[in-house]
Amino acid sequence: MRRESIAERPPRPWSPWAREYDRTERYVFGTEPSQFALSLLPLLRPGARVLELGSGEGRDCVFFARHGLDVTGIEMAEGGLRKSRRLADRAGVRVRWLQQTLPRLEVAGSFDLVYSCGSLHYVARAERPALFARLRERTRPGGHHAHVVFTTRWVYREKGEVMDDFSPGELASEFAHWRVRRRREGMIPCAQDGTPPEHSEEVLVAQRRR
């Protein structure tokens, strides 16, 4: 069997956003919650436990905490966490912030919602099945997963980022035995580099059966 050379190996996913969070005191993606987070609030009872993967500068974690939820945000970038803490302090809420780089995941307990909005395509495809398995185990019966990922249908790269885009249907396949409450494929504008590009995305909300 021929060995794969280092030159032939695909590059590791790399996110530029840690650099962007440090570059400016401005909140790169704003401080208001994403539309995706807003849409999930009706699924959650008061005090529900929420885990966000790739919490960025904290806008969605703070939103969930403001509505009385028990929130944990995982983020690799110290600059993002610094802004997140400031945003939480300003809102007068408590969020448990953990500095970790996926697929590493060291978090205690189980959750009612495991959530990500644009972070899981920075995890290498070969490492995702094991990560999803751990996350499913950490989800309470009746709990939900809600994810937005970029897909290979239309690929655009910003600021030199390296992503391992999801194949169409790859995300849904991880929840084949769950109740799929929402699934959509489409395009999303993203102009952080000053141009008006679009990414193809898949949105999935799935519920663990009781």
- Each residue's pLDDT tens digit in the chain (210 positions)? 444 444 455 677 877 778 889 999 999 999 999 999 999 999 999 999 999 999 999 999 999 999 999 999 999 999 999 999 999 999 999 999 999 999 999 999 999 999 999 999 999 999 999 999 999 999 999 999 999 999 988 776 666 677 899 999 999 999 999 999 999 998 776 655 455 567 789 999 999 999
d(CA 18, CA 160): 13
Domain chopping of the chain, boundaries: 46-101, 116-210
Fill in the amino acid letter for 94. R
* pLDDT score of 183: 96
Q: Are 88 and 62 in contact (CB under 8 A)?
A: yes
* pLDDT score of 5: 44
* pLDDT score of 184: 93
pTM beyond 0.85: yes
Q: Are 58 and 34 in contact (CB under 8 A)?
A: no
* pLDDT score of 200: 85
Is there a cis peptide before residue 103, judged by omega within 30 degrees of 0? yes
Topology of domain 46-101 in CATH is: Rossmann fold (3.40.50)
d(CA 182, CA 56): 24
* pLDDT score of 197: 62
d(CA 48, CA 41): 10
Equal fold, 46-101 vs 116-210: yes
CATH number attached to the domain at 116-210: 3.40.50.150
Q: Are 133 and 103 in contact (CB under 8 A)?
A: no
Q: What is the chain's mean pLDDT, rounded?
A: 90
Each residue's pLDDT tens digit, 10-32: 677 877 778 889 999 999 999 99
